[in-house]
Amino acid sequence: MTYYLGIDAGGTHTRARISDSEGRTLGAGEGGPANSRIGLALAIEAIEDASSAAVLSAGLGRGDVGRIRAGIGISGLNRKGVLKGLREHPFPYDSLAIASDAAIACLGAHLGQDGGIVIVGTGSVGFARVGDETVVVGGYGFPISDEGSGADLGLRAIRRSLWARDGRIAHTPMTQEIIDGFSGLAGEIVAWMDKANATDYAKFAPLVMDHANRGDPVAEPIVQEAALRIDRLIRVLLDRGAPTCCLMGGLAPRLHDWLAAGVRERLRAPMGDALQGAIQLAQLRGLPPGRAE
Amino acid sequence: MTYYLGIDAGGTHTRARISDSEGRTLGAGEGGPANSRIGLALAIEAIEDASSAAVLSAGLGRGDVGRIRAGIGISGLNRKGVLKGLREHPFPYDSLAIASDAAIACLGAHLGQDGGIVIVGTGSVGFARVGDETVVVGGYGFPISDEGSGADLGLRAIRRSLWARDGRIAHTPMTQEIIDGFSGLAGEIVAWMDKANATDYAKFAPLVMDHANRGDPVAEPIVQEAALRIDRLIRVLLDRGAPTCCLMGGLAPRLHDWLAAGVRERLRAPMGDALQGAIQLAQLRGLPPGRAE
């Protein structure tokens, strides 16, 4: 009996799922955050926690672990040393395949068939599998990339709120709410910024979306521009040969209605989730550990 | 005899100048960086180094220090605790007045008369004195503010270079040069970004300006947009009553030609520098230390 372990190692938490060779789910587990930015050792710990929990919940014993083929999708895989560090770690599985978080989301969304995905949450990225090729667009991180993401929405909204505070533009309900949130004090905004990361900026995204939906004259063009950026990511994937595309991530349901009509028409609902994709990855590339990719 | 000590405490270095009551320069000195972001203790050290050097070079003795009226202009004054910390420090002068770096630059540029300045270097800020009022526009720091600054130019250029690398837009000489500078590797760009601050982004500004001047189709609109933002800062100051405005800072000479014709007409060359402004500050507000502002 061969078992398949799929792991989705993300910035906020890590999830694992085990299935048998007929695709039946046997167990699942969770672990802490595994973003490569917080350090590879912690990421590996989160992966092992989630995997052990999944193995336990599947009722597998110590002797079964050697018959597991694992697939890991991890965010920030293009960070220096991450792939090497994961490959060198002595995971106990029969085989291990490693890919980006976007790659497993894409495999899951299209059940291994050709297709593209655009993930829009705290960050944004486009990814497609077309034949033997993979296409990656964006997703390099905030602030140099991740256009149209929650962090991007938040940054733009804060910028414009300061413009309104300065009298460069007129205040709107959104800019007023944001400035009031900092008690109107520039010093508080600066102190917040000094420690803010992408996740902190993205916390403003729901507020921006709410105001945009009510026609706030500052929020509306911010969301329209974000939608244009996401449109562009989708169109690049379609132009590069992806037959369809799925919009995924925390902001997807809210941004969907703002996309161009022609783009919305080409979108499909994902067929499976990222964990299903990680399991597909394990099946696709069941190489011995030494040759893991 | 009363002496006037002007101090310009900036992010890269601190300068001090001493003059007598007739405005003759007696001495000058330099110290390290004094940006409040790196810590108040270091800032105070840099201020004391520059001041001591100026006192020494003016040939003043220990007994003269108590007859010095000092004016300090410091960047990042709106950061929490900075003003309080400076006020509480036992500087040995007869009086001490504290203002932002923009305030002393404005005092110097207009020799204490009403007027505005826009500083555009690593960051950007607009500042004006109009009667008893001061007007501040922007300058809250990167990335939430400082539109049109060197850091802003650099960030936009890197963003668009990644778009070109992804195939979202066509490569231009500028995007190619930037991507080549990172050996074409996304991992290198991400690793750079993880440690990059505003100064690092601003290092790309000369490259962006060079390409814009040659008509690079990505660089040109980036610089045009920066110029629009700087135009806006200037216009806000004029609208708020500043009779004239000076464009200052490292990027000023290069951005000047890109500004709107109507804005360029309203610009004047500064009459004095920031140190002259700091000395003006000392003269304007020669209050005893306990009442220093």
Which chain A residue has its CA at the smallest distance from B146's CA? A159
pLDDT value, residue B1: 85
- Token readout for B219 is 């660089």
Residues of B in contact with A130 (CB under 8 A): none
pLDDT value, residue A249: 92
Task: Indicate whether A293 pLDDT > 70.
Answer: no
The number of CA neighbours under 13 Å toward the Cβ of A158 is 29
User: B259, B129 in Cβ contact below 8 A?
Assistant: no
* pLDDT digits 0-9 by tens, A176-189: 999 999 999 988 99
pLDDT value, residue A62: 85
Residues of B in contact with A186 (CB under 8 A): 78, 140
pLDDT value, residue B285: 58
- B120 with B197, same domain: the answer is yes
Which chain B residue has its CA at the smallest distance from A145's CA? B159
Best mutation site among A125, A140, A193, A201 for testing chain B: the one with the most B CBs within 10 Å? Answer: A140
- B139 with B240, same domain: the answer is yes
CB under 8 Å to B123, separation ≥6 — which residues?
A: B139, B141, B142, B145, B146, B149, B150, B151, B198
Q: How far apart are CA B154 and CA B212, in angstroms?
A: 13
What integer is the mean pLDDT of A109-126?
Answer: 95
Kindly list the distances between the CA atom of residue A99 and the CA atoms of A7, A73, A293, B104, B196, in Å, as whole numbers in the listed order.
Answer: 10, 5, 8, 55, 27
* pLDDT digits 0-9 by tens, A55-74: 999 999 888 999 999 999 99
For tokens 């007994």, the residue is B63
Question: Is A42 buried (19+), middle (13-18) or exposed (0-12) by CB count in 10 A?
Answer: middle
Which portions of chain B are predicted below pLDDT 50? 286-293
Q: How far apart are CA B90 and CA B81, in angstroms?
A: 16
Residues of B in contact with A170 (CB under 8 A): none
Best mutation site among A84, A125, A144, A230 for testing chain B: the one with the most B CBs within 10 Å? Answer: A144
Closest listed residue to residue A205, CA positions, set A276, A146, A138: A146
pLDDT value, residue A252: 96
Contact call for A186 and B158, based on CB within 8 A: no
Residues of B in contact with A232 (CB under 8 A): 168
- Token readout for B177 is 């040069």
Task: Indicate whether A156 pLDDT > 80.
Answer: yes
| Length of chain A, in residues | 293
Name the residue facing B193 among A137, A141, A147 (closest C-beta): A141
Nearest CA of chain B to the CA of A146: how many Å? 9
- B44 with B73, same domain: the answer is yes
- B129 with B80, same domain: the answer is no
Long-range (24+ apart) CB contacts under 8 A made by A172-181 are A172/A211, A172/A216, A172/A217, A172/A218, A172/A219, A173/A211, A173/A214, A173/A216, A174/A207, A174/A208, A174/A211, A174/A216, A174/A218, A174/A219, A175/A218, A177/A207, A177/A211, A178/A204, A178/A207
Q: What is the DSSP string of A177-206?
A: HHHHHTTT-HHHHHHHHHH--HHHHHTTHH
- A223 with A266, same domain: the answer is yes
User: A46, A9 in Cβ contact below 8 A?
Assistant: yes
Write down the ipTM of this complex. 0.85
CB under 8 Å to B157, separation ≥6 — which residues?
A: B174, B175, B178, B204, B207, B208, B218, B219, B222
Boundaries of domain holding B78: 3-111+271-291
Nearest CA of chain B to the CA of A105: how many Å? 20
Q: How far apart are CA A151 and CA A120, in angstroms?
A: 10
Name the residue facing A79 among B79, B143, B191 (closest C-beta): B191
pLDDT value, residue B36: 62
Task: Indicate whether A291 pLDDT > 70.
Answer: no
Report angle CA A187, B142, A200 to the nearest 5 degrees: 70
Q: How far apart are CA A187 and CA A137, in angstroms?
A: 37
B68 forms bridges with which residues in the sheet?
Answer: B3
**Rounded to 10 degrees, what is the CA torsion of A108, A113, A116, A121?**
0
3-class DSSP state of A260: coil
3-class DSSP state of A26: strand
A-B CB pairs within 8 A amount to 87
Q: How far apart are CA B95 and CA B290, in angstroms?
A: 8
Nearest CA of chain B to the CA of A187: how many Å? 5
- B283 with B262, same domain: the answer is no
Going by their DSSP bridges, the two strands B115-120 and B95-100 should be labelled as unpaired
Residue B9 identity (one-letter amino acid): A
Sort residue B167 into left (φ over 0), alpha (ψ -120 to 50) or beta.
left
- A252 with A123, same domain: the answer is yes
Name the residue facing B80 among A37, A191, A233 (closest C-beta): A191
Which pLDDT band holds residue A285 (cuts at 50, 70, 90)?
A: low
- B28 with B117, same domain: the answer is no
- A121 with A258, same domain: the answer is yes
- Token readout for A68 is 């597991």
3-class DSSP state of A27: strand
Nearest CA of chain A to the CA of B19: how many Å? 33
Contact call for A193 and B155, based on CB within 8 A: no
Contact call for A80 and B187, based on CB within 8 A: yes
pLDDT value, residue B293: 40
A265: domain CATH number? 3.30.420.40
Residues of A in contact with B37 (CB under 8 A): 194
- B29 with B53, same domain: the answer is yes
Name the residue facing B144 among A144, A166, A189 (closest C-beta): A189
Type and span of the H or E element at A209: helix A205-213
* pLDDT digits 0-9 by tens, B2-31: 999 999 998 788 999 999 999 899 999 999
Domain count, chain A: 2
Question: Is B240 buried (19+), middle (13-18) or exposed (0-12) by CB count in 10 A?
Answer: middle
pLDDT value, residue B77: 83
Kindly list the distances between the CA atom of residue B132 and the CA atoms of A223, B112, B202, B234, in Å, as whole numbers in the listed order.
Answer: 40, 12, 34, 19
Task: Indicate whether A292 pLDDT > 50.
Answer: no
* pLDDT digits 0-9 by tens, A209-219: 999 999 999 99
* pLDDT digits 0-9 by tens, B73-84: 998 787 778 899
What integer is the mean pLDDT of A27-37?
Answer: 86
pLDDT value, residue A286: 47
Which chain A residue has its CA at the smallest distance from B168's CA? A236
- A140 with A260, same domain: the answer is yes
Q: How far apart are CA B201 and CA A30, in angstroms?
A: 38
- B132 with B276, same domain: the answer is no
